[in-house]
């Protein structure tokens, strides 16, 4: 068994593993993660670009039977609620067999940790579905010393013809979902929520912007905002595990 840098020849297998993960997640927090019919082809066309972009580390795990896992880590920035900084962010992290997180998953994450420490990166951030949809992965991340630091909360919306409220108490971006997903329309991502009561205004803004999904990143320490999201029917789509790079076991 070995971990190595991914190559173009690995891309079809990586896209296959990623699609299998999307299918497992498809009914969780619907329609946010509904796979697009052409998702594998789109992803296969996109993945080689990561080999060329600065700040990305793309690794595969290989046995005599072929590639059975891959990881994509971006050094230096992460989506909200984070941003730029001394961190790395892992979203694409998929294995052929969920039972191999303690071995294959550990080998892949361990190599990223080694490279991150050499690069002077301080914080690791790894995204996962909650235990209800991906129990082996969440158990693995907890065993590696990572803890849930943030969540992406989502809510399905029905677009309205009401007037769009001004961005008071929040900021947001509205646009299409990543092309590997097909939620049925636009999505609205809250870039900032200044106080819990602003969630309702953001939700109205999202629906008036023709969004079918509202997304709110939130730190688990922000109990007031999380309580308001609960009250308004937002569900946890993903958990963002974080921890210091250097003490984590390789």
Write out pLDDT tens, residues 35-59. Answer: 999 999 999 999 999 999 999 999 9
Which of these three, 100, 134, 149, is where a domain ends?
149
What is the DSSP pairing of strand 123-128 with strand 84-95? parallel
245 within domain boundaries: no
* Domain shared by 100 and 159, yes or no: no
Confidence of residue 249 (pLDDT cuts 50, 70, 90): low
8 within domain boundaries: yes
Confidence of residue 246 (pLDDT cuts 50, 70, 90): confident
Write out pLDDT tens, residues 68-116. Answer: 999 999 999 999 999 999 999 999 999 999 999 999 999 999 999 999 9
Higher pLDDT, 177 or 250: 177
Whole-number Cα distances in Å, 187 to 205, 206, 212: 11, 8, 6
pLDDT mean across residues, the chain? 96
* Domain shared by 49 and 74, yes or no: yes
pLDDT over 80 (residue 216):
yes
50 within domain boundaries: yes
Which of these three, 114, 149, 184, is where a domain ends?
149
* Domain shared by 138 and 158, yes or no: no
* Domain shared by 129 and 31, yes or no: yes
161 within domain boundaries: yes
Residue among 115, 3, 137 at smallest CA distance from 67: 3
136 within domain boundaries: yes
Residues of the chain above pLDDT 70, percent: 98
Domain extent for 75:
2-149
* Domain shared by 7 and 119, yes or no: yes
Which of these three, 124, 149, 174, is where a domain ends?
149
Confidence of residue 218 (pLDDT cuts 50, 70, 90): very high
Cα–Cα distance measured from residue 69 to residue 113, given in angstroms and rounded to the nearest whole number: 16
243 within domain boundaries: no
Average pLDDT over residues 118-145: 96
Rounded to two decimals, what is the model's pTM? 0.95
Cα–Cα distance measured from residue 119 to residue 175, given in angstroms and rounded to the nearest whole number: 33
Residues 224, 228, 233, 237: is their CA dihedral positive or negative? negative
List the CATH number of the domain containing 116: 3.40.630.30
Cα–Cα distance measured from residue 186 to residue 159, given in angstroms and rounded to the nearest whole number: 10
Confidence of residue 248 (pLDDT cuts 50, 70, 90): low
87 within domain boundaries: yes
pLDDT at 178: 95
* Domain shared by 55 and 127, yes or no: yes
pLDDT over 70 (residue 61):
yes
């Amino acid at each position: 068994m070995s971990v190595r840098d991914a190559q173009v020849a690995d891309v079809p297998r990586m896209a296959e593993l990623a699609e299998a993960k999307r299918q497992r997640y498809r009914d969780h927090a619907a329609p946010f993660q509904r796979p697009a019919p052409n998702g594998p082809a789109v992803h296969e066309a996109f993945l080689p670009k990561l080999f060329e972009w600065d700040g990305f580390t793309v690794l595969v795990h290989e046995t005599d039977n072929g590639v059975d896992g891959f990881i994509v880590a971006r050094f230096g920035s992460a989506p909200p609620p984070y941003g730029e900084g001394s961190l790395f962010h892992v979203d694409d992290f998929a294995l052929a067999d969920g039972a191999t997180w303690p071995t294959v998953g550990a080998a892949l994450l361990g190599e990223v940790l080694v490279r991150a420490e050499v690069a002077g990166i301080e914080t690791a951030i790894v995204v996962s579905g909650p235990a209800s949809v991906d129990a082996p992965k969440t158990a693995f991340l907890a065993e590696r010393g990572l803890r849930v630091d943030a969540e992406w909360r989502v809510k399905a919306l029905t677009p309205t013809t009401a007037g769009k409220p001004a961005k008071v108490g929040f900021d947001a971006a509205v646009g299409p979902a990543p092309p590997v997903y097909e939620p049925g329309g636009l999505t609205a991502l809250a870039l900032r929520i200044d106080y819990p009561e602003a969630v309702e205004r953001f939700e109205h803004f999202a629906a008036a912007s023709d969004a079918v999904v509202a997304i709110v990143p939130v730190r688990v320490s922000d109990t007031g905002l999380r309580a308001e999201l609960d009250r308004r029917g937002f569900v946890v789509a993903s958990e963002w595990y974080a921890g210091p790079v250097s003490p984590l076991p390789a």
